[in-house]
Chains A and B, each alone.
Chain A
Amino acid sequence: MAKRIELKSIDVYYGKFKAVEDISMVIEPRAITAFIGPSGCGKSTLIRTLNRMHEVIPGAYVEGELLMDGENIYSDDVDPVKVRRQVGMVFQRPNPFPTMSIKDNVISGYKLNNNKMSKSDADDLVERALKGANLWNEVKDRLERPGSSLSGGQQQRLCIARAIAVEPDVILMDEPTSALDPISTAAIEDMAVELKEKFTVVIVTHNMQQASRISDMTAFFNIAGTGLPGKLIEYDKTEKIFSNPAQQQTEDYVSGRFG
């Protein structure tokens, strides 16, 4: 569980357009790593390379090496589907499956892959995952209701439960709280902190306070201008980035001078 991720000169393309250039960094296990930076600097693009979701977009590809506990997930003999089973992902907008109940949404990773499990195993798993996502108490009496009957914040936690139910090694979250109210946001932040006990957590956020509150490490990305690729400007302990960054750009961004 909880793998160490090492990026080695990663370039990410959408067809001819290079969106992200030359990223090398190490993402530590059992910690929260935050990606921050202005819009369009490639945070979403980069986080989607960590579970090979980037390449589902036609024409999109990645160059470089990405090691998970030493194994390059971009080597030719690796099946992207297998990678995604080990790296869960939570999206900006909650996207529970509308045809499934709350319960089926939680175990959708198994159901959709035709993995059979006994009813009691399924019930245990549903309870565990929903507790892990701080949602159990709110939904335990209506597990058969459709997932889309929940509020936005609950739906997002349902999506997190769905991601942790398949017991991945890494959890990626792309601005998971940007569409949510402050109370739901707090619930998800608390949960992220609990998740790092077991998983490697990577979170993209627009919210400086959020990054400083919950993350252990922070990576700041920036672009020199539109049409140019995003680059990693500074990567360090969160405290350092927010109190005493090495780069002027980082300082400007975290102090709210642009972005």
Chain B
Amino acid sequence: MANIISDETIEYVGILAKLELSDDEKEKAKSDMGRMLDYIDMLNQLDTSSVEPMSHIFPVNNVFREDVVVNGDDRENILANAPEEKDGTFVVPKTVD
């Protein structure tokens, strides 16, 4: 494995992803990520200077919707997914700027 992921990096990625990893899991994640970067290095050996960057795998563009209201009130179904609800809202831990 050419790419070695540092403890700081895996810690940081964990924070970004809101994941708490055990020491074991950290080691595994480090080696997984190292191998992913190795794979990217392999791709980087190819000459892509004449290839347009691609953002989508299908040769399709312009998929649009007309601006017409179709959806009605589906609150009951939507709130069925809420861990907790109150007065028609999703209840979450207190969050302030």
- Do the two chains belong together in a single complex? no
List chain B positions with a Cβ less than 8 A from chain A: none
List chain A positions with a Cβ less than 8 A from chain B: none
